[in-house]
Amino acid sequence: MKEKILEKAADMFLTYGFKSITMDDLAQEMGISKKTIYAHFENKTALVKDCTLQLARIISSGIDSILCLNKNPIEELYEIKKFIMQYLKDEKSSPHYQLQKYYPKIFSTMRQKQYEVMKDCVVDNIKRGLEQGIYRENLNVEFISRIYYAGGASIKDHSLFPPDKFTNISLMDLYLEYHLRGIVTPKGRKILNTIINSNQE
């Protein structure tokens, strides 16, 4: 039952936001009593914490699956972006923003775990891009990997990128293209342009 509650709660939090969903909403949606939920989770904060940890594990596992496909590094970044956007439902309800605002401690823990996963993934991506000649050979790998993560976190800041001016999908596309155009070689640029053109069709 605990896993079912986690699964449904995560789905509702991503759809409507962490602040918006109450324990009553969850109980009603699942057709169970609040008492059943509280038998597994002390309070809503505990539920939110477990949900974010589970989401992090699922996303990490999904990224690992993409890495196993052995795509070229540019295609790989687009596949990861596509997977994350689909899984997070394009973040229409701004769960990232609500988590940061209403559950700052949980947000901080999640961000650290996210950084650890993404840093290793991006460093590996850059190194393979260098080996394949599609990323510029004079790149500072540590700097690029960190600035890529920092920029990805920044585009989720509503004060910098208000939702009424930027959709999450367009932000992710613009940011990924911005990142890649700064590091690709002419060979890599051809791959990038092919992907961008195919996405626009």
Domain regions of the chain by residue span: 45-200
pLDDT at 140: 96
Q: Strand, helix or coil at 184?
A: strand
Mean pLDDT per block of 10 residues along the chain (201 residues) reads: 94 89 95 96 96 89 93 95 79 73 92 84 95 96 94 88 87 95 98 91 61
pTM of the model: 0.87
pLDDT at 90: 54
Give me the residue label for tokens 């976190």. Answer: 153
**Cα Rg of the chain (Å, integer):** 19
Task: Supply the CATH classification number for the domain 45-200.
Answer: 1.10.357.10
pLDDT at 134: 98
Are 100 and 107 in contact, with CB atoms under 8 Å apart?
A: yes
Measured torsion, CA atoms of residues 97, 102, 105, 109, in degrees rounded to the nearest 10: -30
